[in-house]
Structure formats: C-alpha cells, structure tokens
Amino acid sequence: MKTIILDAFTANPGDLNWDAIDQITELVQYPRTAPNELLERIQGAEALLTNKVIISSETMDQVPSLKYIGVLATGTNVVDLEAATARGITVTNIPAYSTPFVAQHSFALILNIFNKVAQHSESAKAGAWADCQDFSYTHGVLNELQGKTLGIIGLGSIGKKVAEIAKAFGMKIVALKSARPAKDPIERLEFNDFFSQSDIISLHCPLSPESQEIINAKSLALMKKSAVIINTGRGPLINEADLAQALNEGQIAAAGLDVLSSEPPAADNPLLSAKNCFITPHIAWAAQECRERLIQIAADNIKAFLSGEVLNKVN
C-alpha cells in the first residue's frame, strides 16, 4: 500500500525512525507539505498520514485511489470525517499517546509560576545574586501548592492524570460540573462556584461549541486575583483578548499556556506581550517517548487496516 507522510518532521525531526511503518507499507516521506504542494504529492496514494496538513473533501476527490487516512494526533479536525465516510475512506487517530507528558507539562507550567523558576534563573544569571548582600533573595511572594484548589475542566485521561499529580502535592481537586454523570469521587462544582473557588484552573476538555472560549471576560471576572490559568488543551478554549486584558490589569495573577488559537501565532497576538503570561510552543505532546509511542500506534493502526480489522477508527 503506497503510504505518504505529509508532515513527517513534526513527529520525527530526526531523532527517531519510521521503520515500524516502512516495514508494512511502501512509504514516502515529506518533512512538510505546503497547500500548493499537496495535490501533486498525493497522486496515486492509497494511504495518507498527516499531523496538521488539512485533508478536505475536495482533496479526497482528487485522489480516487485513497483508502485510508491516519491522523498522527488525537484530534481529527484536519480531516473532513463526513466526506471520508461518504467515500469509504477509513480515518484513524492516535489516542492517549501523550497523556503522561501533557500532565507533566501542565505541572511544569504551574511550578514555574508558583516557584518563579524562570524569573529567578534569569535574574541570578544577570548578576542579581552575585550583587546580593544576603545568601538568598526572592522576586515577590512564593507560594506552596499544598492546600490550594485545582479546578479541572475536562476529566478525561489527561485531566485524571493531572488530578493524580495534584493529589501528591496535597491539593484540593474540583472539577467543572457537566452533563455527564461523575464516575469518580472528585467534587463537581457549578460554573460560578468553580471559577470563584479555584486557585488554579487547568484546561483539558475537547474543543466544542460549549467549551469554545470558556475562559472569557465573564469567567475571568469570577476568579480570584491570585488565580492562575493553565492551558495544555486547545487554544480556542480561551478568548485571548479577554485573558490578556485580565493579566495586564491584574484581574488574575498569571497564565501558563502551551497552545494558542492560531499556531504559529500572529506576531500581534496579545498574549505574547501580556504580563505574567508564560508560553511554550505546543510542546506538551513532544517528549521522545510520546513520539515513539505515536509512531508505533500509527503502525498498529495501518497493520490492522491491512488485515481487515478496525483499530482507533474515528469515522
């Protein structure tokens, strides 16, 4: 089966290999694929693998040989699933491959904010410690996580892993109440109580019409001035202009973000210059172990498809 990877560099910038897939298909790799390169590259393909390259219904129409699309991620918004189903094209994804690292990165952002790690490292290397009259100094107030309330929006596998880590820190854990019945002992709070009681709010829910821009002027107005927002989920969960304003005006204390509404962001994205806003470039999935797992699951998905089985099918 002729298989084309359209943006191989994101999952494997050179430290891994594609042997698990190469051994079972006729594999062609492209590090990146621009929109104007797509149609020429996929002619004759039976299978496409994509992380962020969009596969539309119009694209599918141009490749009658196409039978399979493997999304090299959990989210499948880059593929028109309805169009694929109508054309008999199987679409699969990679579930739960990065759960430990997303949770780990969520706490990297939290700890950076509460311990002011980056701020103290930069000042010490700039000479502030060498010039200090005392053996130690701090920039502002440092706070413990123990006893703080962590509010989680989205208690899937990642949200539960974050809750597990929070418990080890001695934090109180609450979740935003949803229509789904609770299957764990974590306390669910109504909207107003959730936002007003949480010291940290961590976003781990899927993007949906209900969750889009759930962090906005209304929810921010309910939060404590000392509150922190963490987003390792989806960028559009946050109204970025509202959050930037809240940070700049001291309405909340800080934010740690691994995702933005558009990636890469526009140079004038207000969060890039907002006060106490710590941003990483969507790396919470990118640990080497996660990417190794991703490639192996992608190979398992293809192997199952070739043998007539269904594994991680999303349409």
Show which residues are catalytic. 234, 263, 282
CB atoms within 10 A of CB 19: 11
Q: Is 30:7 a contact under the CB 8 Å cutoff?
A: yes
Please give the span between the terminal C-alpha atoms of the chain, in angstroms, as a whole number. Answer: 21
In SS3 terms, the chain reads as CEEEECCHHHHCCCCCCCHHHHCCCEEEECCCCCHHHHHHHHCCCCEEEECCCCECHHHHHCCCCCCEEEECCCCCCCECHHHHHHCCCEEECCCCCCHHHHHHHHHHHHHHHHHCHHHHHHHHHCCCCCCCCCCCCCCCCCCCCCCCEEEEECCCHHHHHHHHHHHHCCCEEEEECCCCCCCCCCEEECHHHHHHHCCEEEECCCCCCCCCCCECHHHHHHCCCCCEEEECCCHHHECHHHHHHHHHCCCCCEEEECCCCCCCCCCCCHHHHCCCEEECCCCCCCCHHHHHHHHHHHHHHHHHHHCCCCCCECC
